[in-house]
Amino acid sequence: MEQAVLPQKDVAKLLSDHFVTVILDIDNDMLPEGFGYYAVPTFFVINPKGKLLDKAVGGADVETFREYLENFVKQ
């Protein structure tokens, strides 16, 4: 995901225009309290007030991930 999907122009633009992206290394960084994972990658969508809106586990192709992100932009 980090090398094949996130850098794609349409995905990168959605992320930069509508999201604050934070990438954590599970071996070296701590997740905020209450945000657990059981597989890598795990994507958390959190609103500006800190409420967890969604958690997506596993990778996706460019089109699927772009559509996933667009669902939150439309809200």
Confidence tier at 36 by pLDDT (50, 70, 90): confident
Residue with tokens 């905020």: 32
Average pLDDT, the chain: 93
Domain ranges of the chain: 9-28+36-73
Residue 17 confidence (pLDDT): 97
Omega cis (within 30) before 48:
no
Nearest to 2 by CA among 22, 17, 19: 22
Q: Report which residue type is found at 29.
A: D
The reply to whether the predicted model has a pTM over 0.85 is yes
Phi, psi of 46 (to 5 degrees): -125, 135
Query: What percent of the chain lies above the pLDDT cut of 90?
Result: 80
